[in-house]
Amino acid sequence: MTSNRQPGVVLTDRHFTVPLDHTDPAGEQLEIYGREVVSSGRAGAELPWLVYLEGGPGFGARRFVGKQAWLGRAVQEYRVLLLDQRGTGRSAPLNRQTLPLRGGPQAQAEHLARFRADSIVRDCETVRQRLTGAAPWTVLGQSFGGFCATHYLSTAPEGLRAVLVTGGLPSLDAGAEDVYRAAYPRIQRKAEAHYVRYPQDVERARRIAAHLAEHKTVLPGGYTLTPEAFQSLGILLGGGEGSHQLHYLLEDAFVRTSRGYELSDAFQEGVLATLSYAGHPLYAVLHEAIYAQGAEPTDWAAERVRAEFPQFDAATALAGDGPLLFTGESVHPWHFDVDPALRPLRDTAEMLAARTDWAPLYDPARLAANQVPVAAAVYHDDMYVDTAHSLRTARAIRGLRTWVTDEYEHDGVRAGGPRVLDRLLSLARGEL
The neighbouring-strand residues paired with 34 are 14, 83
Cβ contact 388:43 at 8 Å: no
24, 258, 321, 357: which is the annotated catalytic residue? 357
Residue 275 C-beta-side C-alpha neighbours within 13 Å: 35
Q: Cβ(282)–Cβ(115) under 8 Å?
A: yes
Q: Considering 143, 171, 232, 243, which one is annotated as catalytic? A: 143
> For the residues of 318-340, what is the DSSP string, one character each?
HHSSSPPPP--S---TTHHHH-T
CA 160 distance to own-chain centroid: 22
CB atoms within 10 A of CB 145: 30
Tell which residue, 350, 412, 322, 344, has the closest CA to residue 376.
412
Please identify which of the residues 154, 243, 410, 411 carries the catalytic annotation: 410
Measure CA 243 to chain center: 19
> Phi/psi at 333 (nearest 5 deg)?
-55, -35
Active site includes 357? yes
> Taking the alpha carbons of 168, 172, 176, 177 in that order, is the dihedral positive or negative?
negative
Verify whether residue 143 is a known catalytic residue. yes
Residue 128: half-sphere exposure toward Cβ, Cα within 13 Å: 24
Catalytic amino acids? 143, 357, 410
